[in-house]
Amino acid sequence: MVRYFAADTLRCSGMDPVRNPYAPGAGQRPPELAGRDKQLDAFDIVLERVARGRPERSVMLTGLRGVGKTVLLNQLRSAARQRGWGTGKLEARPDQELRRPLASALHMAVRAIAVAHRHPEMVDDFLGILKAFALRSTADKGMRERWQPGIDVPAVTGRADSGDIEIDLVELLLEAAEVARAVGVGIAIFIDEMQDLGPADISAICAACHELSQEAAPLIVVGAGLPHLPAVLSASKSYSERLFGYHRIDRLDRSAADHALIAPAGREEVKFTDAALDTLYQKADGYPYFVQAYGKATWDAATDSPITAEDVEVGAPAAEEELAVGFFGSRYERATPAEREYMRAMADLAGDDGPVATSAVANELGRKPASVSPARDGLIKKGLIYSAERGTIGFTVPHFGRYLRGVQ
């Protein structure tokens, strides 16, 4: 009887979990995109300049896991769309060729602006080139049925279909830019997880962006990736440092993190005490994924507005559990036993998650550097660690060292 009353009281006076506004999850649109005005404003200038035929650099967003790269990429995409641009997006995967997903993204972008083109036959001509480009994919080798790009015009041979991705991509993107120019808009292609592209594809993108900016062509590539993406690009082409506008996406500062929590709650007429915000910042450390996770758990733990520091403490274990499973654990499980051992050694060395020397990791494991490099390379390929500077290695996942020290 008593238990029945307790549960019932909780249900009546507690905060409504259905109205919980927070959104932890990969690529989940946050209820409030906090602290990214600088990047959004800079991108508006890029769009405006390209629209006016001014030369512009393509844009690269880099940062650790969970800082909000995908969410920002999507936001930039809708900014481009709002200006009438044609847009397309792809997510790079290790061991997957760029050719097909890029063809699909470009197809979508061109279709969006084709209706405004005064000469439909020119659009069809471009689509024919695009089809020929897509059909040069080598991914079908050995398969009985050929994949079809879903473009319903005949392939036009002779352009962008040499089979050399660098030559073909340069030709294809210049042709696409001409379609956009004729409509008086631009095209933006968004590439998430860009560090996962293979060397030939990376080098093709650099060459194409180089050519596009020299021609002041209205087509830009907007990439997002881990902190070593600039190193991947410059290993491919030395001029890449000048080719792209890099934006480091970092954790939110105190006022942005507060805003990410306060604004959505405000719309539900719920407030936080100052002490609650202090505690939340201390726990989430400004990392957007953590802000959402602790925000969500705190809301569910709170009984009334204003939300207090005690509510944060009551909710915290639920947030930590969700992070352990959804953010840390899912990644840890991808590692082999040797890779886990490597990461544990890193965690023991990295006091505050900062990068450590690879030689120190080998030393900690009591092994020769060469014998541990397969584990290190495997982890880089899986996106769990990165090397932004030669000879050092860091976790791509914030607080991962702390998490590993807690797992036995």
Ligand X SMILES: Nc1ncnc2c1ncn2[C@@H]1O[C@H](COP(=O)(O)OP(=O)(O)OP(=O)(O)O)[C@@H](O)[C@H]1O
Residues within the interface to Mg ion (CB under 5 A): 69-70
> If we measure between CA atoms, which residue out of 150, 233, 214, 222 comes closest to residue 187?
222
Stretch that binds ligand X, among 12-20, 69-77, 153-161, 355-363 (CB under 6 A): 69-77
Could you tell me the smallest distance in angstroms from the CB atom of residue 203 to ligand X? 23
Indicate which of ligand X, Mg ion, none lies near residue 71 (CB less than 5 to 8 Å, by partner kind): ligand X
| Cβ proximity of 326 and 24 under 8 Å | yes
| Cβ proximity of 135 and 127 under 8 Å | no
For every residue of 284-331, DSSP letters joined together read HTT-HHHHHHHHHHHHHH--SSSB-HHHHHHHHHHHHHHHIIIIIIHH
Name the one residue in this structure whose structure tokens are 């405000």. 266
> What type of residue is 266?
G
The nearer residue to Mg ion, 70 or 137, going by C-beta atoms, is 70
Residue 284 lies near ligand X (rule: CB under 6 A): no
| Cβ proximity of 34 and 251 under 8 Å | no
Residue 25 lies near ligand X (rule: CB under 6 A): yes
State which of positions 165-224 bind ligand X (CB under 6 A).
Answer: none
Eight-state DSSP code of residue 95: T
Q: Sign (positive/negative) of CA torsion 358, 364, 365, 368?
A: positive
Using Cβ positions, the residue closest to Mg ion within the complex turns out to be 70
Stretch that binds ligand X, among 23-31, 47-55, 265-273, 355-363 (CB under 6 A): 23-31
What does the block give as tokens for 152?
């319903």
Residue 34 lies near ligand X (rule: CB under 6 A): yes
Could you tell me the smallest distance in angstroms from the CB atom of residue 48 to ligand X? 23
Stretch that binds ligand X, among 3-11, 20-28, 346-354, 387-395 (CB under 6 A): 20-28
Binds ligand X by CB under 6 A, chosen from 20, 21, 35, 375: 35
Residue 379 lies near ligand X (rule: CB under 6 A): no
| Cβ proximity of 82 and 114 under 8 Å | no
DSSP-derived 3-state class of residue 160 = coil
Binds ligand X by CB under 6 A, chosen from 50, 59, 66, 130: 66
| Cβ proximity of 398 and 355 under 8 Å | no
Binds ligand X by CB under 6 A, chosen from 28, 234, 373, 387: 28
Residue 30 lies near ligand X (rule: CB under 6 A): yes
Q: Kindly determine how many residues on this chain lie close enough to bind ligand X according to the rule CB under 6 A.
A: 24
Binds ligand X by CB under 6 A, chosen from 15, 39, 47, 69: 69
Eight-state DSSP code of residue 29: P
State which of positions 232-271 bind ligand X (CB under 6 A).
Answer: 260
Could you tell me the smallest distance in angstroms from the CB atom of residue 28 to ligand X? 4
Indicate which of ligand X, Mg ion, none lies near residue 156 (CB less than 5 to 8 Å, by partner kind): none
What does the block give as tokens for 145?
């049925």
Neighbours of 348 (CB within 10 A): 15
Could you tell me the smallest distance in angstroms from the CB atom of residue 188 to Mg ion? 18
H helix or E strand, kind and range, residue 395:
strand 392-395
Using Cβ positions, the residue closest to ligand X within the complex turns out to be 68
Euclidean distance between CA atoms 408 and 273, whole angstroms = 37
Indicate which of ligand X, Mg ion, none lies near residue 260 (CB less than 5 to 8 Å, by partner kind): ligand X
Binds ligand X by CB under 6 A, chosen from 15, 21, 65, 173: 65
Indicate which of Mg ion, ligand X, none lies near residue 30 (CB less than 5 to 8 Å, by partner kind): ligand X
Euclidean distance between CA atoms 261 and 256, whole angstroms = 9
Task: Say which residues have a Cβ less than 8 Å from residue 79's Cβ, sequence separation at least 6.
Answer: 40, 43, 44, 47
Q: Which residues of 183-200 are buried (b: 16+ CB within 10 A; e: fewer)?
A: bebbbbbbbbbbbbbeee
Could you tell me the smallest distance in angstroms from the CB atom of residue 74 to ligand X? 8
What does the block give as tokens for 387?
């090397």
The site for ligand X (CB under 6 A) is made up of 23-28, 30, 33-36, 63, 65-71, 260, 288-289, 291-292
